[in-house]
Chain A
Amino acid sequence: MAVARRGVHRSRWIKLQIFRYVVLALAAVFFLVPLIAMFEFSTRANAGGRTLEYWKSIFAYPDLVNFNLGPAPDAAIDASLELALITSLVMLVLLVPTMVWVRLKLRRLSRIIEFICLLPLTIPAIVLVVGLFPMYIWLGTNFSDSILTLALAYVVLVLPYCYRALDAGLGAIDVKTLSEAARGLGASWFSVMWRIIVPNISNAILNATLLSVALVLGEFTIANNLLYNNLQVELVHLGRANAGVSIAVAVAALVFAFILLVILTFVGGRPRGTQPEAVTDLAGPLAASQA
Chain B
Amino acid sequence: MKFGKLTRQLCLTVVAVFVVAACGSTSGGGSASCSESAVKTATSAAGCGGMSALEAAAKAEGKLNVIALPRDWANYGAVLDSFASKYGIAITSDNPDGSSQDEVNAVQQLGTTSRAPDVLDVGMAVALANLNLFAPYKVATWSDILDSQKEPTGLWFQDYGGFMSVGYDSSKVPTITNFDDLLGSQFKGKVALNGNPKQANAALNGVMMANLAEGGSLDDISKGVDFFHRLKQAGNFVPVQATTATVKNGTTPVVFDWDYLSAAHGTDVPAWKVFVPNNAILGGYYAQAINKNAPHPAAARLWEEYLYSDAGQNLWLAGLARPVRQAAMEKSGTIDKAAAAKLPPVNGTPKFLSPDQATAAKNYVVAHWDAAIS
Contacts and interface: CB of A to CB of B under 8 A. Distances in A.
B94 interface: yes
B71 A227 contact: no
A228 B110 CA distance: 12
Interface in A206-237: 224-225, 227-229, 233, 236-237
Contact of A47 (B65, B72, B97, B270): B270
Interface stretch (A12-20, A75-83, A94-102, A242-250): A242-250
Given A41-B249, A225-B95, A233-B96, A242 B113 contact: no
B106 A227 contact: yes
B318 to A, nearest CB: 16
Contact of B93 (A141, A237, A241): A237
Interface stretch (B139-147, B239-247, B305-313): B239-247
Contacts of A240: 70-73, 77, 96
B245 A227 contact: no
Contact of A137 (B65, B96, B110, B267): B110
A233 B94 CA distance: 8
A59 interface: no
A241 B243 contact: no
A229 B269 CA distance: 30
A281 interface: no
A242 B72 contact: yes
Interface residues of B, number: 33
B95 A242 contact: no
Nearest to B244: A243
B304 to A, nearest CB: 21
B67 interface: yes
Contacts of B73: 240
A229 B109 contact: no
Nearest to B246: A243
A225 B99 CA distance: 11
Contacts of A47: 270
Interface centre among A224, A240, A241, A246 (most CB of B within 10 A): A240
A145 interface: yes
A57 to B, nearest CB: 13
B115 interface: yes
A133 interface: yes
A140 interface: yes
B268 interface: yes
Interface centre among A224, A242, A243, A244 (most CB of B within 10 A): A243
Contact of B268 (A225, A228, A237, A244): A244
A46 interface: yes
Contacts of B117: 227
B248 A243 contact: yes
B149 interface: no
A141 B113 contact: yes
B7 interface: no
A135 to B, nearest CB: 11
Contacts, number: 78
Contacts of A246: 243-245
Contact of A237 (B65, B71, B249): B71
A133 B114 contact: no
A137 B113 contact: yes
B115 A145 contact: yes
A228 B268 CA distance: 30
A44 B244 CA distance: 13
Interface in A246-268: 246-247
Interface in A91-149: 130, 133, 137, 140-141, 145
Contacts of A141: 113
Given A145-B114, A229-B94, A241 B268 contact: no
B216 interface: no
B344 interface: no
Interface centre among B102, B109, B249 (most CB of A within 10 A): B109
Nearest to B67: A227
Interface centre among A44, A133, A145, A227 (most CB of B within 10 A): A227
B244 A242 contact: yes
Interface string B105-122: 010011101110100000
Nearest to B109: A133
Contacts of B153: none
Contacts of B97: 224, 236
B72 A241 contact: yes
B267 to A, nearest CB: 6
Nearest to A229: B94
Nearest to B108: A133
Contacts of A241: 71-72, 77
Contacts of A242: 72, 244, 267-268
A240 B80 CA distance: 14
Interface of B: 65, 67, 70-73, 77, 92-98, 102, 106, 109-111, 113-115, 117, 243-245, 247-249, 267-270
Interface of A: 41, 44, 46-47, 130, 133, 137, 140-141, 145, 224-225, 227-229, 233, 236-237, 240-244, 246-247
Given A44-B248, A243-B247, 20 more contacts: A46-B269, A46-B270, A47-B270, A137-B113, A140-B115, A145-B114, A145-B115, A224-B95, A225-B102, A227-B106, A228-B94, A229-B92, A229-B94, A237-B70, A237-B96, A240-B72, A242-B72, A243-B244, A244-B268, A246-B244
Give me the 5 closest cross-chain CB pairs, A-B, nearest first: A243-B244, A243-B248, A227-B94, A243-B245, A240-B70
15 contacts: A47-B270, A133-B110, A137-B113, A145-B114, A145-B115, A225-B102, A227-B110, A227-B115, A229-B92, A233-B96, A237-B70, A240-B70, A242-B267, A243-B247, A243-B248
